[in-house]
Structure 1
């Protein structure tokens, strides 16, 4: 990516594998295990990018940290969220060697950001997979239910405010388009994703999707939602109104991830009514050796 002339890049969550421990210096777990602090390790990588990097948190680095598969319940998901806020969002600048001025929602939710480049308003919102950190009754794979659900309720309310405020800001600045980045695949409501991956519940994204639908129609210009989480590349139009009409000015781009280690870029052309065009960048070194049974 450093060989390309990029205005900036956005990383839509998951700085580590979902089953890897959430080692950190904050509680000495990294030193005890003789492993690097995974947050500072990722920060160092982001700061090797020549151009600005905006990081939006994913579920692997906080909501999933109290699962047994990540050496939980040794780790606490809310503690890890607060820690990554300290590590990645200490001021109003992006990551990368060349930085970008950002508007952050508040000291409490510094990961929710907004900035403008040319005719487009860009927004980052902490909407993670694992059902937005909501734990239903009877779920034994996640940590303390009361703590998680209180965190979810407060952050979700802040997220909805930030999305509303961001559409208002885009209107006020007469932006021609808005791009919103989250980590969660909020539309992963089929039994499995390609490759046989089981998709997590998505019911606690309903109010976010409903707001995006109404806000996109009201905005009346191109709206792009970028997300990761399911880790395969797709461009689609997954939002509809109550009558089933596809909201045609809303486009979702889901980025590569996990075993598909490539990247995607967006080109902005103010003269194009759609504003955005998207391009896949396949990294040859990351291609697998293909095999067939016959």
Structure 2
């Protein structure tokens, strides 16, 4: 299995975290997207770092989708650390529903720029154009969930071919099994694997 890194191109030599490989006719791509608002909004130096890395991430993601389209790949899986705050792109109605679902949350009083806005816009565009299953896997929040949080900017409805998988994290140390079935229209199947030794004695 060949691993390709974005850092192999001199322009993006600093971004070794961004990698890509193909397995089972699925393109896998890693992106250096981090939590804490993607490092935006702290200092001028951090903002500059964010701008360069964000541009590199988007370029690398687009290249992965281009490759998947050219090769007729069945799906694309994107792997990153950060939860990119999908809910910040929702309408007030969607945000209210999300807040009610999570109970402890309140919808934001106003829309603010985040360090994930440009990535989410590019992700929506690429996902819609690709038209086949796209999965975004992340950690960050340490809360296991599988859902469809990407909403079309125009339709304000879920984008059906997109799925988010958030992994377990401390203190709940378990894992998720991903299975690829090229004959399944959804391509991916996910199953939680609870580690017996890590179960809590409630």
TM-score, normalising length from structure 1? 0.58
Give the equivalent residue in structure 1 for 2:171: 259
Between the aligned partners of 2:172 and 2:190, the Cα distance in structure 1 is: 17
Report the Cα distance in structure 2 between the residues aligned to 1:187 and 1:219, rounded to whole angstroms.
22
8 A contact 2:86–2:149 mirrored in 1: no
Q: Which residue is 2:5 aligned to?
A: 104
Flag the structure with higher helix content. Answer: 2
Question: Could you say which residue in structure 1 is the equivalent of 2:109?
Answer: none
Once residues 152 and 234 of structure 1 are traced to their aligned partners in structure 2, the CA distance between those partners, rounded to angstroms, is 27
User: 1:204 deviation in Å?
Assistant: 1.3
Question: Which deviations, in whole Å up to 9, do the C-alpha atoms of 1:213-270 show, x marking residues without a partner?
Answer: 1111100100000011000110000011122121000000000001110000110001
Is 1:149–2:47 an aligned residue pair? yes
- Structure with more contact order per residue of length (Cα contacts < 8 Å, sep ≥ 6): 2
Which of 141, 152, 156 is matched with 1:241 structurally?
152
| 2:30 corresponding residue in structure 1 | 124
CA distance 1:225–1:178, change in 2 (3 Å): same
> What are the residue-to-residue correspondences of 1:68-217 with 2, within 5 Å?
101-106=2-7, 107-136=13-42, 145-187=43-85, 189=87, 203-217=114-128
Inter-partner Cα distance in structure 2 for 1:152 and 1:246: 28
Across the aligned residues of Structure 1 and Structure 2, the Cα RMSD in angstroms comes to 2.4
Stretches of structure 2 lacking an aligned partner (at least 5 in a row): 8-12, 88-97, 106-111
Question: After TM superposition, which residue ranges in structure 1, 4 or more long, deviate above 6 angstroms?
Answer: 193-197
Contact 1:187/1:238 (<8 A) preserved = no
Q: Helix, strand or coil for the counterpart of 1:130?
A: helix
Aligned residues: 181
Give 1 or 2 for the bigger CA radius of gyration: 1
Structure 1 residue 196 displacement after superposition:
6.8
Q: Which residue of 2 aligns with 1:278?
A: 190
8 Å Cα contact 2:86-2:150 kept in structure 1: no
Q: Confirm or deny: 8 A CA contact 1:186 1:202 kept in the other structure.
A: no
- SS at structure 2 position matched to 1:278: strand
TM-score, scaled to structure 2: 0.83
Contact 1:131 1:202 in 2 (8 A): no
